[in-house]
Amino acid sequence: MINKKKTTIKDIANALNISPAAVSKALHDDSRISAKTKEAVKKVAKELNYQPNHLASALRRGKSNLVGVIVPRTNSNFFSSVIQNIEEVLNKEGYNIIITQSNESYKKECSNIDTLLFTQVDGIIASMANETISLNYYEKIKSKGIPLILFDRGENDLNVDYIGINDYESSHMIVEHLVEQGCKRIAHIGGYRRTRIFNNRIKGYIDALKKYDLPLDESLLIESSLTLEDGREKMLQLLNLKNRPDAVYVAGDYAALGALQVLNENNIDIPNDMALVGFGNEPFTSMVTPTISSINQHSTEIGKLAALTFLERVNNPDIKQTLNKKILDAELIIRDSSHVKKD
Amino acid sequence: MINKKKTTIKDIANALNISPAAVSKALHDDSRISAKTKEAVKKVAKELNYQPNHLASALRRGKSNLVGVIVPRTNSNFFSSVIQNIEEVLNKEGYNIIITQSNESYKKECSNIDTLLFTQVDGIIASMANETISLNYYEKIKSKGIPLILFDRGENDLNVDYIGINDYESSHMIVEHLVEQGCKRIAHIGGYRRTRIFNNRIKGYIDALKKYDLPLDESLLIESSLTLEDGREKMLQLLNLKNRPDAVYVAGDYAALGALQVLNENNIDIPNDMALVGFGNEPFTSMVTPTISSINQHSTEIGKLAALTFLERVNNPDIKQTLNKKILDAELIIRDSSHVKKD
DNA sequence: TATATTTGCTTAATCGTTTAAGCAAAAGTA
DNA sequence: TACTTTTGCTTAAACGATTAAGCAAATATA
C-alpha cells in the first residue's frame, strides 16, 4: 500500500521505454517532444504518483526557488501580514519562502542569515533587528550575489532595495490631526534616533511643530525602547511635568498602550485632557478602551512590493543592485483616543 | 573582490593535491583521515570561504535537514512561541525549519503540505486549520514515510504523535475557580464540538458542573467560531436571557475580549455581576480593562516537546508511528475579570 | 620473517534532474 | 532527385557532495 520508494523520472522512462531526458523535457513542455509522448508521460507520472525531487533539480539548475525571510518576530500583525503577502506573490511564481525570526537579536539574525545561505536560497527579504548596527552579515549576502530586499527596518548604507512607509510624512499627518483637535502642547515618545525610521519620525515631528508655529519643548521629546513597560514609564514622566502636554504621539502601539494604561489609572480624560496617537495599527488598538488612533503601515502593499522587487532582481541578475527606495504613504486611522467631539 | 564562483570541495582538493573524497571526510572528522590532513583541509576551507552546498549533500544523503511547520497563523502569541521553541531545539541538532501558514483554510493547508513535501522536508510538525475535516492530505505525509507530529489541533484518527494541553482538565480548573468566587450560574461560550479540543473543553465544563452540583442549563452552553465578533454576539445572547449567568467561561481569548467589550458597554460590573475567564493567555488579556483571567497553554513546552518528538522519530525510523499523546497540564492565570475581592 | 591489521588515502559510483550535443527519420525545399 | 531543415528523440556529462570498495604503505602480531 505505502509506496516507500519514490518514483523518479527514470521509472517513468522505463515504463514508457524512452529516455529519462525525454521524460524531463516532456514534463517541462519542451517543444522538441511530441504531443503524444508528453501526454503519455504525464499520464504515467500521475499514475505512479511522481513528485519531482526538488533537491536534484535545484542542484542541477543552481537555483533553489526558495526565498528567505527574516523578521524581528512573527507575532506582530504587521510582520505576519507582510509575510503572508510575500508568500502569496512568490508562490504564484513557483517560489517558496522560509521564515526566520531574529527576536530583535543581532546574533540570532546572523545565524539566520547563515542558515538561509546554507539552504541555498535564491534571495533574502529582511527587516532588521533593533539591535543590528553592524552590516557585515548583510554584506555577506550581497557578496554571494543573491538579491537582498529590505523592508520597514532598513539601512541606506547597504545600497539595496528598500520598501517602507513615509515615516517623516506620517509624523506630519499626526501632528496636523492633533492640531486640528485643538491640541497646543504635543509630546512625542519616539524610538531611538539611531534607527532610521524612528529618526525620521522624530524629524517629521519637529518640522511639523514648526509648520504649525508650536514651540519645540525639549522635555516633550523622549526617546524610548517602545515596549509597553517603557511606554508606561515615559508617560508617567510626562505627567510629572509642571507644564503637561495635551497630546502624546507615541512611535509604537505597544508603548502607546502602556501610556494609555497610565492615563486611565490616573483618571485622565482621553482625548479631552490628553489626546493619544500610536503607530502601527496593531489589532489591539481597536480593542482597548478608548480605542487608540494609529498609523496603518500598509503591510499588504509592503509585502507585495517586496516580493515583486525580489522577482525583478532575480529575473535581471545582470543589473547591479543599487539603493532603490520605494516609499509608501501611510494612513492615519482616527479612533476615540484623539477624536475630540466638537459641539 | 566579490567571489561569484562558489568554492566547492573540489577546489579545496585541488589546492591541497588530494581527492575530493578526502576533503569531504576531513570536514566530517572521519577517523580514517590523519589529523594533519584534517587541519590543512579546514584551514584552506576557511581561506577559500567554503560553504557546503546543502542541496548536493541533501540529495546524496536523501535527507534535507529541513522540517516543515504548519500553523493556522503566526500572529498569535501561542503559535509564534511554539514555533520559536521548535526552532531552538531543532537548530541545535542541525535542522532548519520552514514555517507556513494555513490561515485556517483547508485548501491553503493542502497546498502547504504539497510545498513542504516538494521541498523534501524530513518531517512535518503541524497544527490543523479550523476548517480541516478530511485527513487525506495528512495521510499523504504519512504515506511518504516521514514523521508527522501534531500539536494543539490534532486528530486521533491519524495515529501519529500529538502534543497538547489537558483541555478537559482545564475546564475543570476554570469551573472550580469560578465556584470558589461564589458563582452559581456559569455559562460557556465554546468552540465547535467537531474540533476535538473544543469538544473536550465542553465535556470538561459539563462534568465539572456536575461535580459541583450545579445544574446544566442548555441555554448557558453555546457553540461559537470564537472570533471577537462572535464573542460579542454570544455574550449579548446571554445577557438577554431571563435568567442571566453570573459567570462566563469563553473557550478563546479573542471571543472573551468581545464578551468583555459587551459587558463594559452595558456597565456590568466585572467580576461582581459577571465573572469572565478566557482561554489561551494572549498578551492582550493582561492589557485590557479589567484584565482577563485565562489559561496558559504552555507554548514553550509544547514547542520543545514537538521538536524532541520529531527528533525521536527521525532517529528511529524503523519504529512504526502510532498514536502517542503527550498531554500537558494547563495553568489558570487569575486576573481581575474573575477575582472577587472578599471582605 | 611472514602474515594480519590498521592507516590514509584514491577511485568511481551515486543521488535525481537538467541540458548541451548528437543523430536518425521525417518533412520541406530547390 | 538531392539537399537542407525540422522533428523527436538519445547519449552522456554535468551539479556538488557522500560513500562503498579498493589499494598501497605503515604498523602490529605470531
Across B337-342, average pLDDT: 80
Q: Which pLDDT band, with edges at 50, 70 and 90, does A1 fall under?
A: very low
* φ/ψ (deg, to 5) at B220: -95, 0
Q: Which of A65-69, B28-32, B71-75 has the lowest mean pLDDT?
A: B71-75
Give residue limits of the domains in chain A.
9-52, 65-165+299-329, 167-297+332-338
Q: Which pLDDT band, with edges at 50, 70 and 90, does A198 fall under?
A: very high
Coil/strand/helix, residue B24: helix
Q: Which pLDDT band, with edges at 50, 70 and 90, does B186 fall under?
A: very high
State which nucleotides on strand D lie below 7 Å from a protein beta carbon: 7-12, 14-22
Q: Which pLDDT band, with edges at 50, 70 and 90, does A56 fall under?
A: very high
List chain B residues with CB under 8 Å of A75.
Answer: 74-77, 79-81
- Could you give the residue ranges of the DSSP H alpha helices within chain B? 9-16, 20-27, 35-47, 54-61, 77-92, 106-118, 136-143, 167-180, 196-211, 228-239, 253-265, 299-315
CATH topology classification for A65-165+299-329: Rossmann fold (3.40.50)
Q: Where is A305: in which H helix or E strand?
A: helix A299-315
Q: Do A120 and B53 touch (CB under 8 A)?
A: yes
Across B84-106, average pLDDT: 89
* pLDDT at position A322: 87
Q: Where is A97: in which H helix or E strand?
A: strand A96-101
Buried b (16+ CB within 10 A) or exposed e, B245-274: bbbbbbbbbbbbbbbbbbbeeeebebbeeb
Pairing mode, strands A221-223 and B148-151: unpaired
Q: Do B103 and A117 touch (CB under 8 A)?
A: no
A327 beta partners: A164
A166: pLDDT strictly greater than 80: yes
A285: pLDDT strictly greater than 70: yes
B18 touches strand D (CB under 7 A): no
Across B104-112, average pLDDT: 89
Q: Which pLDDT band, with edges at 50, 70 and 90, does A2 fall under?
A: very low
For residue A38, give Cα distances in angstroms to A10, A51, B217, B247. Answer: 15, 16, 65, 66
* pLDDT at position B76: 82
Across B253-260, average pLDDT: 94
Give the nearest nucleotide to B25, CA to C1'.
Answer: D18
Cell 505525509 belongs to which residue? B141
Separation in Å: D17 C1' and B256 CA: 54
Q: Which pLDDT band, with edges at 50, 70 and 90, does B191 fall under?
A: very high
Pair A54, B118: CB distance under 8 Å: yes
* pLDDT at position A103: 85
Percent of chain A predicted with pLDDT > 90: 71
For residue A230, give how far its alpha carbon lies from the nearest alpha carbon of chain B (Å): 14
Higher pLDDT: A189 or A155? It is A189
A4: pLDDT strictly greater than 80: no
A37 touches strand D (CB under 7 A): yes
Cell 545600497 belongs to which residue? A159
Cβ neighbours, 10 Å, residue A326: 16
Across B238-266, average pLDDT: 95
C-alpha–C-alpha distance, residues A235 and B272, integer Å: 31
State which nucleotides on strand C lie below 7 Å from a protein beta carbon: 7-12, 14-22
Cell 492615563 belongs to which residue? A263
Residue among A66, A100, A288 minimizing CB distance to B287? A288
Residue among B52, B55, B87 minimizing CB distance to A64? B55
Q: Do B75 and A80 touch (CB under 8 A)?
A: yes
**Closest C-alpha among B184, B210, B211, B169 to residue B295:** B169
Which chain A residue has the Cα nearest residue B56?
A: A59
Separation in Å: C12 C1' and B320 CA: 36
Coil/strand/helix, residue B162: strand
Higher pLDDT: B325 or A286? It is B325
C-alpha–C-alpha distance, residues B122 and B102, integer Å: 20
Cell 510629572 belongs to which residue? A240
What's the pLDDT tens digit per position in A96-140?
A: 888 888 888 899 899 889 888 888 899 999 999 878 888 888 998
Q: Do B120 and A96 touch (CB under 8 A)?
A: no
What's the pLDDT tens digit per position in A236-245?
A: 999 999 999 9
- Could you give the residue ranges of the DSSP H alpha helices within A128-252? 136-143, 167-180, 196-211, 228-239
A-contacting residues in B 82-101 (Cβ below 8 Å): 83-84, 87, 91, 96, 98-101
Q: Do B59 and A64 touch (CB under 8 A)?
A: no
Across A40-46, average pLDDT: 97
**Closest C-alpha among B68, B57, B216 to residue B147:** B68
Whether omega before A290 lies within 30 degrees of 0, making that bond cis, reads yes
Across A297-305, average pLDDT: 96
User: Residue B150: CB partners within 8 Å, gap ≥ 6?
Assistant: B125, B126, B127, B128, B158, B160, B161, B162, B163
Equal fold, B65-165+299-327 vs B167-297+332-338? yes
A-contacting residues in B 251-310 (Cβ below 8 Å): 257, 261, 264, 284, 287-289
Pair A74, A130: CB distance under 8 Å: no
- Return the half-sphere exposure (C-beta side, CA atoms, 13 A cut-off) of residue B280: 26
- Copy the grid coordinates of residue B113: 503540505
What's the pLDDT tens digit per position in A69-100?
A: 999 888 788 998 999 999 999 989 989 888 88
In CATH terms, A167-297+332-338 corresponds, of 3.30.70.1880, 1.10.510.10, 3.30.565.10, 3.40.50.2300, to 3.40.50.2300
Query: Would an 8 Å CB–CB cutoff place B57 in contact with chain A?
Result: no
Query: Would an 8 Å CB–CB cutoff place B133 in contact with chain A?
Result: no
Query: Would an 8 Å CB–CB cutoff place B314 in contact with chain A?
Result: no
For residue A103, give Cα distances in angstroms to A87, A148, B69, B170. Answer: 21, 20, 18, 30
CATH topology classification for B65-165+299-327: Rossmann fold (3.40.50)
Residue among B101, B143, B228 minimizing CB distance to A84? B101
